[in-house]
Amino acid sequence: MLEFDQVGRRFGARRVLDGVSLTVERRQLLGLLGRNGAGKTTLLRMGAGLLPPSQGRVRVGGVDVIREGPRIRQRVGYLPENCPLYGEMRVKEFLRFRAGLKGLGSGRARHRVDEVTDSCGLREIRRQPIRRLSLGFRQRVALAEALLAEPELLILDEPTRGLDPLQAGQAWDLLRDLAGDRAVVVATHDLETAARHCTHLAVLGDGAVTVQGRTAQVLDPLPHGSVVHAELRGPERGIEEGLAGMALVSEIELTRRGGWTLARIHGVATADLRLPVARLAMDRGWDMRELHLERRDLQRLLETPSGGAGP
């Protein structure tokens, strides 16, 4: 549904993006991550056909967004970080107005306004002036506006910024539902939440995509060997000797906390040591209350040097 092919963008002498290649398919919810100034908003604006690339091509459904701009924009719903809303208008009035600007006939406009009002949880406040709404409801109105023309591609820039945890959770639940029959791209700073909800992740850094892939792949243990975390209770010396003597263990790190031994166990190659550690604990009679594979530090993903893009 959305393809960036070696896309670059400059503003005067300043390079913002350089050689970005990224593909988003239907039924994917892609979380676009990156530090402030990484170029997320610039990339999204190009995907929505609002900003031409300085190099490369952007396609929606295989069609160039610059050459076929007006037609493409009918297929894309775009929600900028600061979406302009007309505060003096009532919610339903605003949505009908925007539906007309998007070219929806009166009958279809009424139908779609009713549908997006329901799906975005706006029915009870549809007659209220927008200026009286909370930030959370204003975000819902902006999302409803982006959905009016039934876009095949939904592009959202920080849609949960300023929302409380309950509102943000509801917004992510809605985005997952929306990704059931379209492609959804969300730029966000909320790394942990993106990891929970997105099917795919991509990280921008130094003007390029540094990491991309299915969420499970991006967050998998490091490829040169797994690391297992375990919390064990038993003889400290016995735990150290038992873990160090296991096959396929290259290194162990032990700390003590409240009578428990916290073990960080490095495996050689890509060995998964969870089952051997569990069996060892059972054989030795140790108590165990935690056992999991170490996953990549999400914060470090934002600091990954360019050139490390995954599949």
Helix 135-147 × helix 91-101 angle, to 10°: 30
Q: Return the half-sphere exposure (C-beta side, CA atoms, 13 A cut-off) of residue 181.
A: 3
What letter represents residue 72's amino acid? I
Name residues whose C-beta falls within 8 Å of residue 30's C-beta, 6 or more positions apart in sequence. Answer: 24, 183, 184, 185, 186, 198, 199, 200, 201, 202
Alpha carbon separation from 198 to 165, 186, 187 (Å, rounded): 17, 9, 11
Contact predicate 228/265, CB 8 Å: yes
CATH code 3.30.70.100 region(s) in the chain: 227-294
The structure tokens 């960080």 sit at: 264
Q: How far apart are CA 127 and CA 115, in angstroms?
A: 15
pTM for the predicted model, two decimal places: 0.72
Q: Which amino acid is at 35?
A: R
Quick one: tokens of 36? Answer: 């402030």
- pLDDT for residue 302: 66
Q: Which fold has domain 2-218?
A: Rossmann fold (3.40.50)
Gap between the Cα atoms of 176 and 198, Å rounded: 8
The torsion angle over the Cα atoms of residues 291, 292, 294 and 298, rounded to 10 degrees, is: -120
pLDDT in tens, the chain (311 residues): 899 999 999 998 888 999 899 999 999 999 999 888 888 999 999 999 889 999 999 999 888 888 877 777 778 999 888 878 999 999 999 999 999 988 888 899 999 999 999 988 899 999 999 999 988 888 889 989 999 988 999 999 988 877 778 878 888 888 898 898 899 999 987 777 888 899 999 988 878 888 888 987 777 655 556 789 999 999 999 999 999 999 888 889 999 998 999 999 988 766 678 899 999 999 999 999 999 887 666 666 666 554 443 33
Cα within 13 Å of Cα(299), Cβ side: 0
Helices (H), the chain: 40-47, 69-73, 91-101, 106-119, 135-147, 165-178, 191-197, 215-218, 236-244, 274-284, 298-301
CATH 3.40.50.300 domain locations along the chain: 2-218
User: What pLDDT does residue 307 have?
Assistant: 40
Residue 110 near residue 117, CB atoms below 8 Å: no
Res 135: pLDDT: 84
Token code pair at residue 309: 């893009």
Token output for 301:
């993903």
The predicted pLDDT at position 199 comes to 94
Architecture of domain 227-294: 2-Layer Sandwich (3.30)
Residue 239 has which token pair?
């735990």
